Structures are given as structure tokens and as C-alpha cells.
Amino acid sequence: MQGRPFEGIKVLEFCWAGVGPFSLNYLAYYGAEVIKVETTLRPDITRTGAPYKDNIPGLERSATFAWTHPVKKYDITLNLNHPRGIEIAEKLVARADVVGESFTAGKMEKFGLGYEDLKKIRQDIIMFRTCGYGRTGPLSTQPSTGFSLTTLTGFNSMCRWPDRPSSPVSGPYTDFIAPLFGGLALIAALDYRRRTGKGQCIDLSQHEAVINFVTPIVLDYDVNQRELVPTGNQCDHAAPHGPYRCKGDDRWCAIAVSTDEEWDIFCNVIGKPAWTKDQKFSTLLNRLKNYHELDTLVEEWTINFEAEEVMVMMQAAGVPAGVVSNTQDLFEDPQLKYYHHFHELDHPAMGKCAFYQGPGFRLSEADYDVARPPLLGEHNEYIYTKILGISDDDYTKWMQDGVFD
């Protein structure tokens, strides 16, 4: 394994919540130095959200914050409303390759830290800016979170039984989609600068990025004037298809049979009961037509086995199948364990937690690093006095003045 691709890259993170940090984390995973700029006056919203360790609120006890920052970051508190705070921010910018921010539109400009300002400090700076709706347009100053964007983009309307209102997906789902685009663009910008010496300002409107995930729905409306049709657990080209109840409480195994070959294998695995030879199930079209009866019959078999057993039997024979994993299953999943997907890290307030994750890929020439989340202002003294060279006297005085709030 070689070194870290982004070693030597310095990142200044003025980001809150999820999308900004998740985008920047790809740099941190692979060696970049990140200084996270927070403030005690207005803590990151993820620090003030439940669930908390032991259900006791505290700025260092939020699981959401911890989950979002599984990488080494220097954490400083800085009061950008104080003129000296802006001076210090500018000194930090001067040594940074990348500056990330996720304030609402206009805020950074108000601080004198807009892109044009940053370019004066460092001509080839890469600025990464993200907000919900984009930095121009009628909604540019509207606050948004992943929770609201997930509804706005239609993701909370996609999982639906035809006879019922939709069921939302996991909470801030778009917080896990937008940073995929953000991280990609940011790394491309670093590569571009390496080749050309030019920086740039990247503007990630989370709404605009996420709609790139639903292009087929957009086109279907454009040319066919059709909205997404809710299909429950059915598939129009596979039967049996769906989650099938297994032994135990709320245990299911998903099975998907698309081809004749898979159907033959499937019938073998379940012991070729007489019903499988019924004309009703002899072709895909017939199985789709009689899917309700088919599903009932399949479940009469699956109910006798553990979900894992069903998956293993089906997969061994060549039929797509997967346990409907609950959280415990995830943490015990053999494939995720093989890739060491979850890391257990110790933290002064959170204790030992194993939900820290790296990227969804592995590189053959670079390893990623995880590290416990930083505490608020944990590295104030180090960054201000050692890195920026502020004298101890000034540091004490400015602290009293509220510069480091």
C-alpha cells in the first residue's frame, strides 16, 4: 500500500450538518489535513440532535455528529462576527488548498470570505460551496436539510403500496446522495488544478444534484406525461419477486426470479412441490398474472426456514436472494465484515461505537483512514498558537475578547 493520495492537501471546513462534511470526508479519508471551523455561539445542528449517548444531551454526545465525522479533523472554534475572527479566518485560508462552506447564500460574502475574496488571498484556491437550493434564484436563502430535500425530490413518495400513502425512506436520504456528486466534483477540481494550476469555485445545489438520480422519472413525465406508478414489492419482469416471511419475528428473505433458468433452479431448491408444475406458473407471464397465489405458496415454504438459510440455499444454487437485514444483521453481515466496513472507535463522550464507515469502494494503491470525531474547539491552542503562531499573550487576550467563541 502506498501513501495517502491527498497527503499535503489542506482543507478548511466551514460546513455544517451532512452534505458538506460528507463531501470533504473523501479527502480526509485519503490523507488531507482538515481544519473544521465551528463556533460555540451556534453549534452545528447535528451536535444538538438526538439520539444522544445514554439519552443525555450534550454537544459531544450526539450520535449524528459522531457518525458524520469518522475522520481526523482539527477542530477550532472561531467567532466570525468578531473582526479579528475574520482576520484569523483569512490566515487560515492562506494556507488552505480547499475551502468548504455550507452557509446560506450570501453569508460568506458578508464575512468578506466569498470566492472573490478568497481568490485575492490565494489565487488557485478551490472553494466548495453547498446549500439546499443553490446560491441564486428565489429560494437561495431558504434553509433546508436532508429531511426536507428527501421529500421535495420525491424520494419519500417512491416506496408505496398502490392502495396506501407512501412510506418514507430513511431520514435525510438525500444527505447520502448529494455528497456523492460533491465529493466527485471536488476531487476532479483537485486533479484539474494539479494539471493546470487553476482553482475554481464549485457550487453544489443539493436539489439540482439529487434530481440527477431520477432522470428516468423526469423523462417519463416529459415524453409520456406519466408520474411514477407505485408497484409495492412487484417487478414487471420477475416472479416470484418480493420479501418472503421466514421463521422468527419479522424475518424476511427477498427473492427475485427473472429467468426460466432461475425458475427451474428455484423449484429444485424448494423440493419441486406439485404446485410448481401447475400451468398457472409455467411461464413468466403466467407467474406475473398469478403473483398473489404464487407469493402465498412460496411463503408456505420460506416460513419453515431462517432468513439466512433461505438466502444461502438460493444463492448456492444460483437464485438472487438476500436477507432483509435489520440493523443488527448489518453489523454482523459477513460480507461487510470481510471488507471491514464498520470500524469501532473510542471517543471521550460517545464511548466505543462501531458505526464509523469509510467509502463504498476500496483502492489497490491507497488505504483510507478513520479516526474518532473531534471535540468542539479541541485543537484551538494547537492551531492558533502553534500553526498560526499567535503568541500566548494574544491568544489569552483574544480568548477573553470572544474571538475564539
Partner 1 sequence: MLSCYRALDLTDEKGFICGKVLADLGVDVIKIERPGGDPARSIGPFYHDMAHPEKSLYWFAFNGNKRSITLDIERTDGQEVLKKLAKTADIVIESFAPGYMDKQGLGYSVLNQVNPMIVMTSISNFGQKGPYKEYKASEIVLWALSGMMYIVGDPDRPPLLSSYPHAYLFGGMQGAIGTVIALYQREMIGRGQQVDASALMSLVRATGPEVQAPWELFRQIVKREGRMRLRTGTGVRTPILWRCKDGDVGFFLLLGANFIKANTALVEWIKSEGVDSGVMGQIDWKKVGWDEITEDVACQINAILTEFFSRHTKQELYEEAIKKGIQIVPALTAKETWEFPQFAARNYWVKIAHPELEAVMTYPGGFIKSTETTCGIRRRAPLIGEHNEEIYKKELGFSAEELMILKQSRII
Scan residues 116-175 and list those touching partner 1 (CB under 8 A): 133-134, 136-139, 142-145, 147-154, 156-161, 164-173, 175
Q: What's the CA gap between 300 and 79, in Å, rounded? A: 64
**Interface with partner 1, residue 303, by CB under 8 A:** no
Q: Which residues are catalytic?
A: 175
Given 180, 349, 371, 399, the residue binding partner 1 (CB under 8 A): 180
Q: Which of 260, 330, 392, 396 lies at the binding interface for partner 1 (CB under 8 A)?
A: 330
Q: Which of 34, 35, 254, 376 touches partner 1 by CB under 8 A?
A: 254
State in angstroms the smallest separation of the CB of 275 from partner 1. 21
Rounded to a whole number of angstroms, the minimum distance from the CB of residue 99 to partner 1 is: 14
Q: Applying CB under 8 A, does 253 fall inside the site for partner 1?
A: yes
Peptide bond before 57: cis, by omega within 30 degrees of 0? no
Is there a contact between 131 and 159 (Cβ–Cβ < 8 Å)?
no
Burial of 193 (0-12, 13-18, 19+ CB in 10 A): middle
Alpha carbon distance 368, 354 (integer Å): 16
Distances (CA, A) of 174 to 62, 208, 214: 20, 11, 12
Q: Does 190 bind partner 1 (CB under 8 A)?
A: yes
Q: Is the dihedral of CA 387, 38, 177, 340 positive or negative?
A: positive
Q: Nearer to partner 1 by C-beta: 83 or 137?
A: 137
Min CB(55)–partner 1 separation in Å: 5
Binding of residue 248 to partner 1 (CB under 8 A): no
Counting contacts by CB under 8 A, is residue 184 touching partner 1?
yes
**105 binds partner 1 per the rule CB under 8 A:** no
Whole-number Å distance between alpha carbons of 190 and 125: 10
Q: Does 189 bind partner 1 (CB under 8 A)?
A: yes
Shortest Cβ distance from residue 353 to partner 1 (Å)? 5
Query: Cell numbers of 93, please?
Result: 485560508
Task: Determine if 112 is a binding residue for partner 1 (CB under 8 A).
Answer: no
C-alpha cell at 181: 456528486
Residue type, 391: S
Cell, residue 265: 433452479
Helix, strand, or coil here: 308? helix
Of 305 and 384, nearer to partner 1 (C-beta) is 305
Q: Of the candidates 158, 182, 178, which has an alpha carbon nearest to the alpha carbon of residue 169?
A: 158
- Report 56-75 residues binding partner 1 (CB under 8 A): 56-57, 63-64, 66-68
Residues from 211 through 240 that contact partner 1 (CB under 8 A): 211-224, 226-233, 235-236, 238
The minimum distance between CB 239 and partner 1, in angstroms, equals 12
Residue pair 286/222 in contact (Cβ under 8 Å)? The answer is no
DSSP, collapsed to helix, strand or coil, labels residue 34 as strand
**CB of 288 vs partner 1, minimal distance in Å:** 14
**Taking CB under 8 A as the criterion, which residues in 336-365 touch partner 1?**
336, 338-339, 341, 353-355, 357, 359-365
Grid coordinates belonging to 73: 479533523
Binding letters toward partner 1, positions 262-301, x by CB under 8 A: ----------------------------------------
Judged by CB under 8 A, which of 203, 300, 308, 394 binds partner 1? 203
Question: If DSSP codes are grouped into helix, strand and coil, which group holds residue 105?
Answer: coil
CA 248/CA 405 separation, integer angstroms: 53
Contacts 24+ apart (CB under 8 A), 195-198: 197/124, 198/124
**Residue 165, strand partner residues:** none
In the list 92, 246, 310, 319, the residue contacting partner 1 (rule: CB under 8 A) is: 319
Q: Omega into 51 within 30° of 0, i.e. cis?
A: yes
Which amino acid makes up residue 43? P
Q: Please identify, using beta-carbon distances, which residue of 82 and 245 lies nearer to partner 1.
A: 245
20-49 residues in contact with partner 1 (CB under 8 A) are: 26, 30, 42-43, 45, 48-49
C-alpha cell at 170: 430513511
Q: Which residue has the cell 422468527?
A: 248
**Residue 88 or 311 with smaller CB distance to partner 1:** 311
Question: Please, which residue, 213 or 395, has the CB nearer to partner 1?
Answer: 213
Q: Which of residues 361-390 bind partner 1 (CB under 8 A)?
A: 361-366
Regarding 103 and contact with partner 1 (CB under 8 A), the answer is no
Closest to partner 1 by CB, 278 vs 329, is: 329
Residue 390 Cβ, how far from partner 1 at the closest point, in Å?
28
